[in-house]
Structure 1
Amino acid sequence: MRHDLQINRLRALVAVVEHGGFRRAAEALHITQPAVSQQIRQLSGFIKGPVFASTGREMRLSPQGEELLAYARRMVTLNDEAVGRFVPEAGHTLLSVGVTSQLAEVLPEFLRLMNRGLPQVQLRVRTGGSEALAQQLSTGQLDVALLLQAGPLAPGTQDVELGRMRMAWFGRPAIGERDVLPLALFPDPCTLRGRVGEVLDDAGVRWRIAYEGPELIGLRSAAKAGLGMTCLVENSDELWGLTPAARPDLPAPPDPLPVTLALTPGATPEGFARIAEKAFRRALQGYPLVTGAPDGHTDATAGAALTAGPAALTGSPA
C-alpha cells in the first residue's frame, strides 16, 4: 500500500518548529490552532509515534520527528519551487519567452524594460536554437520568441520582422587539410548551417564538419580552440572575443538573416505584443542589424526610431 505525504501537514510541522509553537504557526499559516494540531497528529500516525517529545512550552522534537522535519523542509522547498515555476503570483500573468542563443545578450535590457512597462507580467525565459524555439512556440511551450532564421513558422503564428542580422566568419583553424576548410556548425535543422553550406559550395570551397553541437558556448569554444571556422553574428568579436577569419579564398558570408518576433495568438495579454516589440528593438541596439529597405542598403541600430523615455516603451503618445 502506497502512502502519500500531504504538503500542508509538512508545512505545519516546519511552521511549528520555526515559529516556536502551535499558536504562532497557526497565525503564520492563516489557519486555526486546532487545524495545526490535527495535522501534527496525522503526522504522528504516519510515523507511528510522537512527532514532539514534549508539547509544553519548550517544543522538542522526538528522534523520528527530527528525521521527518529534514524531509519536510526539503519537500516544502521543492513544492514551492515548482509552484513558483508554473503558477504566477496573485495578480500576475505568467508568460514563457524564448530568445535565440546568438541574441541572448539582449535579455538584461529586455527584461528591465518589460518589468517597467508591464510589471504585472511574470516572465520565464528559455534560450536555444531558433528552430527548436519555433517548435516550442508551435506546441504552446512558449508564448513569444525572438528568432534568427528564415524558415516558415507554424500556421497562425503572428510575427514581425525587426530587421536582418549581418553575419561574419570567425576562427582561424589550427589544424586540417590544406584544401579543405574545417567548420564548426550547429546541427540540423538550422537555417544558418544551410546558408553556410550554400555559400561555400557556390564559391567552390571544399569543407568538412570539424565540430558540431547545439550549444552556442560549445561552438564558440571550438572556434577559439582552432577546431574550425564558424559563421555567427557580425559582432561576435565584441560579444565573445572571437577572432575574425583571415582567409583570402573565403566568399562573403551568408546574407543577413531575419530577426523575427513571433507570438502565439491569444496567449499574451493586451498590449504585450506592442511593448515586447519595442523592448526587443531597444535591447537590440548595438547589434549589426539592417533595418529599412529589404535590399540591405539602410543600416540602423535597432530601436533608433523610438523616442526616449517610458512613453516610447508603453506606446503612449510622445
Structure 2
Amino acid sequence: MARNLDLTALRAFVTVVDVGGVTRAAGLLHLSQSAVSMQLKRLEESVGTALFDRSGRSLDLTAEGEQLLSYARRMLELNDTIWAKLTDDTLEGEITLGVPHDIVLPALPPVLHQFNTEFPRMKITLISSFTRALKEEFTRGNCDVILTTEDAGEGNGETLCTLPMTWVGAPGGKAWRQRPVRLAFEERCKFRPGVQAALDAAGIPWEMAVTSEMSRTIDATVIADLAIHARLAGTQMEPLEPIDHGGALPDLSTNHVNLYVAESLRGAPAEALLRMLRQAYAALGQGITPTHAPGQWPQPRPVVTTTLPVDLRERRSS
C-alpha cells in the first residue's frame, strides 16, 4: 500500500540541513526545538532509516539522508509553486491582447488554453482587427500586447516568424481558373492591394466578387467556389485549402508576424504569455501546428468565443 511523506516533516528536515542545526531551524520555522526534533524522528521512522549520523557533535547526513534531501527539495519547490499560483492575489488581473483575425488560428487557441491553465485568475481580453487598427489601439494605450502582419522593414516590432502569402480556395475548386479571376477580400485587408498588383504584373485580369467587413462572408464566398482569396501560409482553416495552380497564378509576398509589448506590462503572467506567443508563432513559421501538449489539443475551431475558460471577451476594433 502506498504511503505518503509528511511535507511538514520534510520542510523541517531541509531547514535543519540548510542552517546546520535544530536550534536555528526551530527559529525559522517558528517551532520549538523539541517539535523540530520530533518531526525529524517521525520522518526517519516513516522511511525506516536514519537520516543523520549522530555519532559526532554535528548533524551529518547519512547516504540515505543525502538521497532524501534531493527529493525533498523538489517536492517542497513543487508544493510552494502550486500554493503560490492558487493563492497569490498578485496573479489576478487583465491583459488586453490584439491579434489580426487572419492569424488567430491555429496558433492562438493553444496559447490561451495553456495560459489559463497556468494563471486561472488572469483574464485576457482579445481584440480582433486589422494591423493598422491594432497599432492605433496600441499607441492609444488600449492594448498591452499586439501581434501584427507587416512587410519587411515595416514597423519596429519583434519578428516572431515570416510567412509567405498563398492562394486559397474551395476544396477541388475551379474558381482560380476563371478569367477574370474573381477575388474575395475584406475592404481594409492590407493584403488586398498587393494581390491585385501581383495579378496586374502577371497580366491576369481580375474582379472583386465580394467585398465585406467580415471574414466569415469572405470565407463563405470562397468555400462556395465563387472566388479565391490569399492567406498567410499555415493560417487557412478547413475547408479552405491552398490552391495547386501550377504557376497559373503569380507568387505573392511574404509578411512578418511582429510582436509589440507595452512598457508598462510587467509580471510573471505577462512574461509567460509572451513566451507562449513567441513559441507558438515560431512553430507556425516552421510549419508546425502549435499544440498545448502532444496529442492533447484538438483541432482549433473556426470561432473564438466567450466560452473559453480564460474569461475571454472578443471584440472587433473599428
Q: TM-score, normalised by structure 2?
A: 0.53
The alignment partner of 1:228 has SS state of coil
Does structure 2 retain, via aligned residues, the 8 Å contact 1:149–1:257?
yes
Change (3 A) 1:274 1:255: farther
Equivalent pair of 1:281/1:303 in contact (CA under 8 Å):
no
For 2:280, the aligned partner's letter is A
Alignment partner of 1:276 is 2:273: yes
**Unmatched 5+ residue regions in structure 2?**
1-87, 292-318
Find out whether 1:126 has 2:134 as its counterpart: no
Unaligned runs of at least 5 residues, structure 1: 1-88, 290-298, 305-318
Contact 1:96-1:123 within 8 A present in 2 as well: yes
Deviation at 1:231, TM superposition (A): 0.3
Measured after TM superposition, the shift of residue 217 of structure 1 is 1.9
CA gap of 1:245–1:176, structure 2 versus 1, over 3 A, is closer
Provide the rounded CA distance (Å) in 2 between the counterparts of 1:127 and 1:98. 6
User: Does 2:97 align with 1:100?
Assistant: no
Contact 1:196 1:253 in 2 (8 A): no
Question: What is the Cα deviation at residue 253 of structure 1?
Answer: 3.4
User: Is residue 187 from structure 1 mapped to residue 212 from structure 2 by the alignment?
Assistant: no
TM-score by length of 1: 0.53
| Cα distance between partner residues in 2 of 1:174 and 1:168 | 16
Change (3 A) 1:209 1:277: same
Measured after TM superposition, the shift of residue 204 of structure 1 is: 1.6
Q: Residues 1-318 of structure 1: matches in 2 within 5 Å?
A: 91=90, 92-105=92-105, 106-119=107-120, 121-150=122-151, 152-153=154-155, 159-171=157-169, 179-188=179-188, 190-235=189-234, 239-248=237-246, 250-266=248-264, 268-271=265-268, 274-284=271-281, 287=284, 289=285, 299=286, 301=288
Partner secondary structure for residue 142 of structure 1: coil
CA shift digits 1:169-199 (9 cap, x unpaired): 11267679953111011213x3311221222
Deviation at 1:224, TM superposition (A): 0.8
CA contact (8 A) 1:231 1:253 kept: no
Query: 2:283 touches 2:290 (CA, 8 Å); kept in 1?
Result: no
Shift of 1:95: 1.6
Compute the displacement of 1:221 (Å). Answer: 1.0
Measure the CA separation in 1 of the matches of 2:235 and 2:99: 17
Q: Distance in 1 between matches of 2:287 and 2:241?
A: 24
Could you say which structure has the greater relative contact order, defined with CA pairs below 8 angstroms and 6 or more residues apart? 2
Q: CA RMSD in A?
A: 3.3
Corresponding letter in the other structure for 1:123: I
Residue 179 of structure 1 aligns to a residue whose secondary structure is: coil
**Paired residue for 1:27?**
none
Q: Deviations over 1:125-147 (max 9, x none)?
A: 12222222222222222211122
In the comparison of the two structures, how many residue pairs are matched? Answer: 199
- Cα distance, 1:108 vs. partner? 2.5
